[in-house]
Structure 1
Amino acid sequence: MDSILDALQEGRLFELPENDKNHALQFLAHIIEAFPQIPTGTDIVGNVMAREKSMNTALGKGWACPHARVDFEEDLMCVVGWSPSGIDYGAPDGQPVSIITMYLVPSNQRNHYLREISIMAKVLKSSPEIDKLSSIKELNDVRNYLLDLISASKETVGPDARARMIRLQSKAALATQPVADLSNLIVEPVSIIAGTGFKPLALTQNLELLNFVESTAGLAERLDSDGTYQNGIWRIVRRSATAYQGGRTVFDCIAIMPAKASQKA
């Protein structure tokens, strides 16, 4: 479960914005697509959704593990999503899913991925820590819960001094990162008001994002037709759309941008 530890240390643990299965998967897949290591045009969303359609990825005990296989070579990486209320995922044990670990599986990492999933399955089956999931109320508690499971996974593959130290080391590293720190990504909520006869209006605390939305022709139309818009820096993902009188529509969106791109801008 080292990839999960990497995700925690690099700020890739997210509270899911809603408890709809498809929306949760699309949200996490869009996060992966925004990684700077991912070649432009890589369809992680389509990959994940097609695989989920062919096989439910729930593991039971409140966990699911979707993944996207890609043909290029890179490190094995994952993002972790937490749903406080649980998601109706169609799990074999009937339990709602609270933790979704979504993996990016490059061609050179498939054996590594299979080993990690095998260890995860053993931990979910045998660790007493797994039952604490239903009582978690805060994202920081999710981190500690996952660190406990990672420590337990080290013990399942043999005694090791690192198994005894991993939780303290990880907590010390994570203590310097606030829960909202997404490290390599900037993720901003934004509402976009669009309609006939006027330019889109953005409601956001991020001035750079506001200027981008309000100066980009055709953005609202792409959100309406495709559900997403990307210009190479910002990725705008539609979560919902509400129609109002006068032909006006409010798009509730998430905007994602690599932090390095913001610094260059």
Structure 2
Amino acid sequence: MSPASRTPEGESNRCPVCGNVVSMEPSIPPGDAPCPHCGQLLWWPAVISGGDFDFLVGEGAVDTIDADEKVAALSQLVERLVASGRLDANLQTVALNALLVRETLGSTAVGNGVAIPHAKLDNLSQVVGIVADVAGGIDFGSADGQPVTRLFLLLAPKDDPSRYLRALERIARSLRTRD
């Protein structure tokens, strides 16, 4: 039997075997834990540490994507922001295009398998983001030549640089504590 999948924010998690509601919170380190009702092993997702990540989907829960190149990875993450309700669907194309334009200015890969693609948008009222691991890694043009295996995607309002910089600071702080 496959482990339980992560459910959308605000919805109950249910054991795939017994159907009972279970409390499923991100954990450090990620791993399996038994359903308290039937004993079925359930997957408890990872979460980043080192700060307050209320601007991230799942407040820092690490998602996993399957992409083999940069555009596909960014597209998947923007789609997940829309699906989570953190980004208006009307801004999906604008957000993806802004991220791609930003990447043409220079890679947002920071080394050691990490990239922080980011862009500023009009008509966005708050900083939003998502963190994900990339299965197998992808080429992001990193100066150290390593494939990117963790992405921190960040979108911010054009007219509020201070919140944008605070979000980047929190991400940078979490990278210092990353194993």
Given candidates 122, 125, 140, the residue that maps to 1:89 is: 140
- Amino acid aligned to 2:52: D
Structure 2 equivalent of residue 3 of structure 1: 53
1:210-265 C-alpha deviation (Å, 9 max, x unpaired) = xxxxxxxxxxxxxxxxxxxxxxxxxxxxxxxxxxxxxxxxxxxxxxxxxxxxxxxx
- Amino acid aligned to 1:57: T
1:33-87 C-alpha deviation (Å, 9 max, x unpaired) = 4454544532211111111122211111211111231112422111112113221
1:199-218 C-alpha deviation (Å, 9 max, x unpaired) = xxxxxxxxxxxxxxxxxxxx
Give SS of 1:2's match: coil
2:65–2:133 Cα contact (<8 Å) kept: yes
* Partners of 1:92 and 1:4 in 2: CA distance: 30
* Partners of 2:56 and 2:78 in 1: CA distance: 17
Give SS of 2:132's match: strand
TM-score relative to the length of structure 1: 0.42
* Partners of 1:121 and 1:10 in 2: CA distance: 13
If you compute each CA radius of gyration, which structure gives the higher value, 1 or 2? 1
* Partners of 2:85 and 2:54 in 1: CA distance: 19
Runs in 1 of length 4+ with deviation above 6 angstroms? none
Asked if 1:41 is matched to 2:90, the reply is yes
In the superposition, relative to structure 1, how do residues 38 and 92 fare at CA in structure 2: closer, same or farther (>3 Å)? same
Structure 2 equivalent of residue 164 of structure 1: none
* Partners of 1:38 and 1:120 in 2: CA distance: 19
2:55–2:128 Cα contact (<8 Å) kept: no
Structure 2 residues not aligned, in runs of 5+: 1-50
The root-mean-square deviation of aligned C-alpha atoms, in Å, is 2.7
Structure 2 equivalent of residue 215 of structure 1: none
- Amino acid aligned to 2:111: G
Structure 2 equivalent of residue 21 of structure 1: 70
Asked if 1:71 is matched to 2:90, the reply is no
1:60–1:95 Cα contact (<8 Å) kept: yes
* Partners of 1:94 and 1:5 in 2: CA distance: 29
TM-score relative to the length of structure 2: 0.59
Structure 1 residues not aligned, in runs of 5+: 133-265
Residue identity over aligned pairs, in percent, reads: 27
- Amino acid aligned to 2:70: K
In the superposition, relative to structure 1, how do residues 2 and 110 fare at CA in structure 2: closer, same or farther (>3 Å)? farther
Count of residues paired in the alignment: 127
1:7–1:79 Cα contact (<8 Å) kept: yes
